[in-house]
């Protein structure tokens, strides 16, 4: 299929982009999600706003213990080491397993998060960090905790007149432990179950269980999961009331293996 006719706008600055957004235009980052939706006519905006050339939309800056990642930063840039330190190593490992390199060259971290597909990698991983999504609207920037950003299927906490401008994550010490496991039937496919665990010295470990056809399940204190990975994973998944036994087994395995990966790093 071909998309329905739409206009194309390339704003010169953020105020112009926000003005177009208020008029009902649809923002475009890398186009790896919006493009197929346009072709299938699942999305039929009157105008598409190309954000890729706006200042600060892509790039990485570290200041005051936080790493600010522009929403337009591509998966490939993250994979190739754009983010420094332990945090960068963790995110590069996640980015490396997103789809294929051709997709990673164009797809962006912010576009993926704002699209809010429950099986997407950044939707699953970013809530594990005690960070924030930076929304930009007419009144300026607004910080939204990443754990509260995705509200439902393809639904986020962004207001109609806001655009996702950046993601802010805490810089991690070298000792931070990380476990991540996702199941795809073949390379490049969306995950059927994703889990990750982050343990930072001096802080409660955090965990996320995602690709559940609902918002990610954020476990703010995953100490019990690291202490008894198999038993605690079974207890958590039993409370989700998943209809299919195979799905419950897959989700339980994802959480168990992510916890084991983080726990084994301590050895």
At 146-204, the pLDDT tens digits run: 999 999 989 999 999 999 999 999 999 999 999 999 999 887 788 999 999 999 999 99
Q: In this structure, are 22 and 40 located in the same domain? A: yes
Percentage of the chain surpassing pLDDT 70?
A: 99
- The answer to whether the CB of 101 falls within 8 A of the CB of 76 is yes
Q: In this structure, are 38 and 66 located in the same domain? A: no
Q: In this structure, are 73 and 142 located in the same domain? A: yes
2 domain residue, yes or no: no
Span 210-239, mean pLDDT? Answer: 94
> From CA 191, how far away is CA 182, in angstroms rounded?
6
Q: In this structure, are 163 and 181 located in the same domain? A: no
CATH of the domain at 243: 3.30.390.50
Structure tokens at 257: 């293996």
Looking at 170, 201, 229, the residue that finishes a domain is: 170
Q: In this structure, are 144 and 209 located in the same domain? A: no
Q: In this structure, are 165 and 79 located in the same domain? A: yes
Residue 57 confidence (pLDDT) above 90: yes
156 domain residue, yes or no: yes
Give the total number of structural domains in the chain.
3
Q: In this structure, are 66 and 165 located in the same domain? A: yes
CATH of the domain at 14: 3.30.43.10
CATH of the domain at 145: 3.30.465.10
Longest CA–CA separation in the chain, Å:
58
Residue 39 confidence (pLDDT) above 70: yes
> From CA 113, how far away is CA 49, in angstroms rounded?
18
11 domain residue, yes or no: yes
* pLDDT for res 223: 96
Rounded to two decimals, the pTM is 0.93
Q: In this structure, are 67 and 148 located in the same domain? A: yes
Q: In this structure, are 99 and 143 located in the same domain? A: yes
* pLDDT for res 73: 98
Looking at 170, 190, 215, the residue that finishes a domain is: 170
Q: In this structure, are 183 and 260 located in the same domain? A: yes
55 domain residue, yes or no: no
Domain that holds residue 127: 60-170
CB atoms closer than 10 angstroms to residue 132:
23
> From CA 142, how far away is CA 254, in angstroms rounded?
33
* pLDDT for res 2: 84
* pLDDT for res 267: 41
Collapsing DSSP to helix, strand or coil, 28 comes out as strand
Q: In this structure, are 208 and 239 located in the same domain? A: yes
Tokens 């991690």 belong to residue = 172
Q: In this structure, are 165 and 185 located in the same domain? A: no
> From CA 201, how far away is CA 194, in angstroms rounded?
24
Residue 241 confidence (pLDDT) above 70: yes
pLDDT in tens, 90-114: 999 999 999 999 999 999 999 999 9
């Amino acid at each position: 299929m071909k998309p329905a006719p739409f206009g194309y706008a390339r704003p010169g600055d953020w105020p112009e982009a926000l003005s177009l957004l208020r008029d009902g235009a649809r923002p475009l980052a890398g186009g790896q999600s919006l493009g197929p939706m346009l072709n299938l006519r699942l999305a039929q905006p009157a105008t598409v706003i190309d954000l890729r050339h706006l200042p600060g939309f892509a790039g990485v800056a570290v200041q005051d213990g936080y790493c600010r990642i522009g929403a337009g930063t591509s998966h490939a840039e993250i994979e190739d080491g754009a983010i420094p330190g332990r945090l960068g190593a963790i995110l590069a490992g996640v980015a490396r397993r997103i789809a294929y390199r051709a997709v990673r060259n164009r797809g962006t971290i912010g576009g993926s998060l704002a699209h809010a597909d429950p099986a997407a990698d950044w939707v699953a991983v970013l809530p594990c960090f005690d960070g924030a999504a930076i929304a930009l609207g007419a009144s300026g920037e607004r910080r939204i905790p990443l754990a509260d950003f995705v509200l439902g299927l393809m639904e986020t906490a962004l207001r109609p007149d806001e655009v996702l401008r950046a993601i802010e994550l805490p810089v991690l010490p070298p000792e931070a432990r990380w476990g991540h496991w996702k199941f795809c039937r073949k390379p490049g496919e969306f995950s059927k179950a994703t889990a990750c665990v982050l343990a930072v010295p001096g802080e409660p470990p955090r965990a996320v269980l995602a690709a559940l056809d609902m918002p990610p399940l954020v476990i703010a204190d995953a100490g019990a999961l690291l202490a008894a990975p198999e038993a605690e994973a079974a207890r958590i998944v039993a409370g989700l009331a998943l209809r299919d036994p195979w799905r419950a087994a897959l989700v339980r395995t994802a959480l168990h293996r992510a916890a084991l990966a983080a726990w084994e790093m301590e050895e």
